[in-house]
A and B are shown apart, each in its own frame.
Chain A
Amino acid sequence: DAKTTQPTSMDCAEGRAANLPCNHSTISGNEYVYWYRQIHSQGPQYIIHGLKNNETNEMASLIITEDRKSSTLILPHATLRDTAVYYCIVRAGRGGSNYKLTFGKGTLLTVNP
């Protein structure tokens, strides 16, 4: 799986959009970009994933650059409960035999009042 690079930490004001970047310059054509988050002392929570197109769900939006070498997770209106470590993960295929998720250290997002 391709390696990802994320900033160690970011701050965001409550009610504002949080934009979390991720670099994955060695991503292959069949690799998806996944985002998870982990609130302190809890299990990780799936947020969103994408291959080429931008994606949006009830939690967030995922913007993937045209060359697919980087992506941005957007939380449109951050709340205090969004304070967590956010992991960007690149994984081959959505089916098949490659199930492994490789978690790095992620980005600690702190939402301030």
Chain B
Amino acid sequence: DGGITQSPKYLFRKEGQNVTLSCEQNLNHDAMYWYRQDPGQGLRLIYYSQIVNDFQKGDIAEGYSVSREKKESFPLTVTSAQKNPTAFYLCASSPQGFEQFFGPGTRLTVL
């Protein structure tokens, strides 16, 4: 089955800990994205990558880091510098410049 997987679905962490969210796609898409969604709000772009070994900051990159070592994978690390990390995190991928396809999301709760 082709698609985008995110794991885990729910994640709980203590305040001050770094946490890495997984995103994998087998659609052979060049571009991948990370968005954050807060309750009742739209999605906000954190980071995006158009090609392996390259990525750019989105609108709210502070406190987050990413890597793109493989075409299929785009993990997001939420660092302790992120002041309010509790949110719903969505990963997406697309062929260059075309429609974005989203994963099921990871709900992160920081205790």
Contact = CB atoms under 8 A, between A and B. Distances in A.
A-side interface mostly: loop
Interface size class of A (residues with CB under 8 A): 20 to 34
B99 A46 contact: yes
Contacts of A45: 102
Contacts of A44: 43, 90, 92, 102
A87 B105 contact: no
Contacts of A46: 99-101
A102 B48 CA distance: 13
A93 interface: yes
A104 interface: yes
B29 to A, nearest CB: 11
SS of B interface (majority): strand
Contact of A100 (B45, B101, B102): B45
Contact of B50 (A43, A93, A99, A101): A99
Interface in B17-76: 31, 33, 35, 40-45, 48, 50, 58
Given A99-B50, A101-B100, A103-B42, 4 more contacts: A42-B104, A97-B50, A98-B97, A99-B97
Q: Sort A-B residue pairs by CB-CB distance and give the 5 closest, nearest first.
A: A43-B102, A103-B42, A95-B97, A103-B43, A46-B99
Interface of A: 34, 41-46, 49, 87, 93-106
